[in-house]
Structure 1
């Protein structure tokens, strides 16, 4: 397994320290019983937000360079995606000298004041990069893409906190990432961490029991070649 970037190691370790990343037995929305679970809502302190911002910004800057895949707005789906978009916009400015707006949606459209379903930078006619937490079946990110498109924006890519690298909703030979890339473009779905990165980290820490459970899960639900 390849070596992890420093920001990946730091993010995993900080997520473990605050209980946002756990290893054990967890029933997912899909009904699958997973040996690990990540709750991005627990990443709610200054130190881990700083690490998260750095990780998102580095991933975005590397995967979506300004001269090849430009974008105007970061979109964070409500609710967990909202702070992701805000801190990443800040980190892109301070660390990478890229100035972009950020926006997010409401769970229900507002019918007074400024109205509408989205808040922040306007989306109409803009190129939008969606930030999200965890992709399993891809249902949530599909909804986010639909929200951006309904507001007149063009989704040029997706960056997630964790790609579970699991089979998608249909053909077991196709991953969720492949399915979403059919909506936004080949190579335009990226992640800070993948399941293989968590496995590499477990291996480096000598956590053999957890690693074996991860391998079993990957054999059952991972993308089949």
Structure 2
């Protein structure tokens, strides 16, 4: 099984992803969504952690071969970033959502060489807001950010636009389209529900 399908199956198997087109979830942004994702669950499953670590490590070396450091986005990106940094033998840092309000007021934690070329890891991409803010924090401190690697993306148009505006590439292990296909193959979704879910991704604000 290819990594895209394997990770999609993993997320569905442990219910890190819940699909509910008939009773949508309310996101903080105000969007009503037929999907809810909690990839923090993955750290409790050693075999799935291994799939994610090995998959991200391969993907990063393929897409960002000059990488010299790994960064984790608070909080869900940190455990995966740590595992990938260990696998690749690279330095690790993590980026707070905002600078500390005490001590030295740091936002980037850990030590990186001033010439570090960083790949940021996050668990989930919707519009990309949090990880792109983390990238900005690293850039302000003089580090080069090569791009972002994540477990899963909703493939929302706003997310694609935001990464383009930031001038940063994004690579993911799996995505919304692959997950929906896997859910249909596993008889979690009917064909009508599948079409409804694909319609949501195209226009999440206007859906229903």
Unaligned segments of structure 2, at least 5 residues: none
The alpha-carbon deviation at position 123 of structure 1 amounts to: 5.6
2:49 counterpart residue number: 49
> Once the 2 structures are TM-superposed, how far is the Cα of residue 213 of structure 1 from its aligned partner?
2.7
Of 67, 73, 84, which aligns to 2:69?
Answer: 73
Of residues 35-44 and 119-128 in structure 1, the stretch that sits farther from structure 2 once superposed is 119-128
> Does residue 186 of structure 2 align to residue 205 of structure 1?
yes
Could you say what secondary structure the match of 2:71 adopts?
A: strand
State how 1:72-91 maps to structure 2 within 5 Å. Answer: 72-91=68-87
Query: Match for residue 165 of structure 2?
Result: 182
Q: Which runs of 4+ in 1 moved over 6 A?
A: none
Q: Tell me the C-alpha RMSD between the 2 structures.
A: 2.4
CA distance, structure 2, for counterparts of residue 204 and residue 54 of structure 1: 25
Shift of 1:158: 1.0
Q: TM-score, normalization: structure 1?
A: 0.77
Structure 1, unpaired ranges of 5+:
94-98, 169-175
TM-score by length of 2: 0.82
The Cα shift of 1:71 comes to: 1.5
CA distance in 2 between counterparts of 1:123 and 1:199 reads 41
Taking CA–CA contacts closer than 8 Å with sequence separation of 6 or more, which of the two structures ends up with the larger relative contact order? Answer: 2
Count residues with an aligned counterpart.
198
The answer to whether the 8 Å contact 1:181/1:189 transfers is no
